[in-house]
Amino acid sequence: MTEPTTAIEPRVTLDDIRHRADAVKARAITEARTSVDEAIGRENIRTLLIVGGLVVVAASFAFFLGSRSGRSALAQEILGE
C-alpha cells in the first residue's frame, strides 16, 4: 500500500510579507487621497483662496481711500478752504 502524498505548500518568505504590506499600504494611501479629494475638492479650495484674497485686497484699498479722504478733509478744515 502506498502512502498518500500531500502537496507541499510554498514557504512564505519575509520578502513576500514585505511586498504584500507595501501593496496594502500603497492602496490605503491611494484610497485615502481619493476620498479627501472627493470630499473637499481642489477647485473649491482654490476658489475659496481666490475670493479670500480679493476680499483682503478690496478691504485694503477701501482703507487706503478712506484714510486719504479723511486726511484731505482735515487739511481743508485746518486751511479753511
Domain annotation covers residue 23: yes
Q: Is residue 43 part of a domain?
A: yes
Query: Both ends of the chain: CA-CA distance in Å?
Result: 127
**Does the reported pTM lie above 0.85?**
no
Nearest-angstrom CA–CA distance, 70 and 81: 15
- The C-alpha atoms of residue 13 and residue 32 are separated, in whole angstroms, by 29
The answer to whether position 2 is within a domain reads no
Evaluate whether residue 73 is within a structural domain: yes
Residue 49 lies in a domain: yes
Per the structure, the count of domains in the chain is 1
30: containing domain: 14-79
Q: Tens of pLDDT along 5-57? A: 777 888 889 999 999 999 999 999 999 999 888 877 777 878 888 999 999 99
Size of the chain, expressed as the number of residues it contains: 81
Residue 8: inside a domain: no
Domain contains 6: no
